[in-house]
A and B are shown apart, each in its own frame.
Chain A
Amino acid sequence: MKTSKRIPLFLIVRHVRHSNKWTLALIVFLMAIAFINLLFINSLFSGVIESNQSQLINTRTGNVMITPAKGSDFIDNPAALVKQVDKVPGVQAAAAETLVPGSIEFAGTRGNFDVTAIDPAQEKKATTVSEKMVTGSYLSPGDTEGIILGDIIAGKKENDTDFAPNGIKVGDTVNVITDSMVHPFQVRGVFKTKFNGTDDRAFVTNQGLNKIAPALKGKATAAIVRADKRGNETKLVADMKAAGVPGTLRTWQQLAGAVREITSSFVTINALMTVVGFFIAAVTIFIIIYVDVTHRRQEVGILRAIGVRSPLVVMTYVLQAAVYSFLGVALGTALYFAILFPYFKAFPFKIPIGDVSLSIIPWDYLFRAFTVVAVGMLSGLIPALIGTRRPILDDILNR
């Protein structure tokens, strides 16, 4: 290292070592708070988006959904299809579903709710609906009399539905009406996924379907496919097609619909909040560093008076600001991942569209960390530049 270049490092190390520890701790803490604020807003919105997308995948579409090929109304031999799909690398589970258009009647009121027939054992592997039962139990394989209802159908006073204003309880009987035929089913349980596209569904077993629509035996209207991991859906579709899986294959993104709109709204809000967050963080960091460097005007003057060249003086304060910012980011990261992240994982925000915990994308984290350090350095640069352009005596005499 060129001799003169050691001056900034020499001064920074001494400054950190000998300056008032409380002041240093306060500066670093404030930088950490500014960083956490920046991270938290983004994580929260990412969490909302993540929660929404996960609900769609986990409770409705899977990662990939197979529907009948063009020109067909049904998937024939769904059991064979599920077996075939299960063998494709990257597939965790598959389940066939048969949607029966119709309505449900309870206490003299009829609601237009379709009923879906499933194989409970397959469905348990492919969706998380079975884990979202709020009362009663999930369907048992071979149950020909039972039905489970989504929270929107079963209703509760807070849901304010016209269909079942007093709610439907486990053990109540509802009528499933198809083709003007009325079929009574006993409610085994009520599930609540907090995803409207799922909570307005009713499930019976394939054996139950045979009771109400015998013509649909051995047919399915869709098969949902869960992947080992999210993000490789396009490749999975290609692999399934290569493996000869028939039908129309679409990823959850292609099926997103309303979720896509919600996601895009949250992305927009997130972007706006991020800009505001960046501005607040930048101003906060700027004030902290600016006050610190301005406070040490005399030091700037002394360094110049003894012959330290201005660029080195500026570099000293810029690097010092970078050190503060880096320490702030490190402390902020520690607090975020050691306290906030696990806390909200354990106690997620319970909002109407789902349980939301914090989610951070590595690139977003790096970008914010970089921004904090960059703003910190800029905040050190400006007062240092001003300081080195003032007459030396003004700095030394603080005038």
Chain B
Amino acid sequence: MQDMASEILPGPDDVILVDDIHKTYHLGEVSVKALRGLSLIVKKGDFLIITGRNGSGKSTLMHQLGLLDSPDDGRIFLSGKEVTGMREKERSELRLRDLGYIFQEFALIAELTALENVMLPTMMIERTEVCREKASEMLSLVGLDEQATHLPNQLSGGEQQKVAIARSLMNEPNVLFADEPTANLDLVSAQEVLLIFERLNKEEGHTIVMVTHEHEETIYGNRIITLSDGKIIYQEDHV
């Protein structure tokens, strides 16, 4: 973890640079400050775990990093490009090519089979046959060769999350975001999913940012930050 006080431009190894971001939600007349001047850097190959209690701002931070939301103030750089203030078309392109996002609720399309769900992001870029071939490889990677033709409702929660992981890997993103990916899974499935992340990080070199509120899951990361009231209150490098 680096101090952001003086550094405002990303270095060559910085996949993510967050500079003093603020985010406030307005719920009727009530304003909730979810992020208060948060800064951080994620380097290539990092497996960053973000923890914190409910309402600490970890999911809000994740949404800003995953370009699903925009901060009110501050700057975010992804793969060297400043994304704050980017037009939606460019953000969409970045989500497609540079980011992989894994949701707590899996976010699979109900009418597509596992293989088709995985193919979907690459269909924007490649021919169908290439997509199919690549999607099969990704399903193999997460151990779901046999379930390729299953619809999401024919898969267990763990299997659905593995499909979501395979989908997030399709366009070889620079960074994978996983927002409480094990929250809806049983222990065994959660373990399998975490081992996949570990393998992707250690063997394939993927940069991963994962939010969790399970303390025992922090051992999978090489870095941990803990949020409270929208600020980093604790940081630790494991390795």
Interface, chain A (partner B; CB < 8 A):
3-4, 6-7, 10-11, 14-15, 17-19, 298-299, 301-310, 312, 391-393, 396
Contact of B109 among A4, A17, A302, A312 (CB under 8 A): A302
Interfacial chain A residues near B93, Cβ < 8 Å: 307, 309
Interface, chain B (partner A; CB < 8 A):
63, 66, 68-69, 88-89, 92-97, 99, 101, 103, 105, 107-113, 116, 120-121, 123-128, 151, 167, 171
- Besides the known contacts A3-B124, A11-B112, 11 further A-B residue pairs in the complex with CB atoms under 8 A apart: A4-B125, A18-B112, A298-B107, A299-B110, A305-B66, A305-B68, A306-B95, A306-B120, A308-B96, A393-B68, A396-B105
Interfacial chain A residues near B112, Cβ < 8 Å: 11, 14, 18
Interfacial chain B residues near A308, Cβ < 8 Å: 92, 96, 120-121, 124
Interfacial chain A residues near B89, Cβ < 8 Å: 309
Given A18-B111, A299-B109, A393-B69, do A305 and B95 touch, yes or no (CB 8 Å)? yes
Given A14-B112, A17-B111, do A309 and B125 touch, yes or no (CB 8 Å)? no
- CB-CB nearest in chain A for B168: A306
A310 to B124, CA, bound (A): 13
A76 to B108, CA, bound (A): 89
> Interface majority SS on A: helix, strand, loop or mixed?
helix
Interfacial chain B residues near A7, Cβ < 8 Å: 120, 123-124
A254 to B110, CA, bound (A): 64
Interface centre among B95, B108, B113, B124 (most CB of A within 10 A): B124
Are B88 and A310 in contact, with the CB atoms below 8 A?
yes
B135, chain A: closest CB distance, angstroms:
13
Are A14 and B96 in contact, with the CB atoms below 8 A?
no
Chosen A-B contacts, 9 in total, with CB atoms closer than 8 Å, are A7-B124, A11-B111, A14-B116, A15-B111, A301-B107, A305-B68, A306-B121, A306-B167, A308-B96
Given A7-B123, A14-B116, do A307 and B111 touch, yes or no (CB 8 Å)? no
A11 to B113, CA, bound (A): 11
- CB-CB nearest in chain B for A391: B69
Interface centre among A302, A310, A312 (most CB of B within 10 A): A302
- CB-CB nearest in chain A for B70: A391
Are B92 and A307 in contact, with the CB atoms below 8 A?
yes
A307 to B97, CA, bound (A): 8
B185, chain A: closest CB distance, angstroms:
19
Contact of A396 among B99, B107, B121 (CB under 8 A): B107
Interface centre among B89, B92, B108 (most CB of A within 10 A): B92
Contact of B107 among A4, A302, A391 (CB under 8 A): A302
A11 to B112, CA, bound (A): 8
A308 to B123, CA, bound (A): 9
Interfacial chain B residues near A4, Cβ < 8 Å: 123-125
Contact of A309 among B63, B92, B99, B126 (CB under 8 A): B92
Given A3-B127, A305-B101, do A310 and B111 touch, yes or no (CB 8 Å)? no
Interfacial chain A residues near B99, Cβ < 8 Å: 307
Interfacial chain A residues near B68, Cβ < 8 Å: 305, 391-393, 396
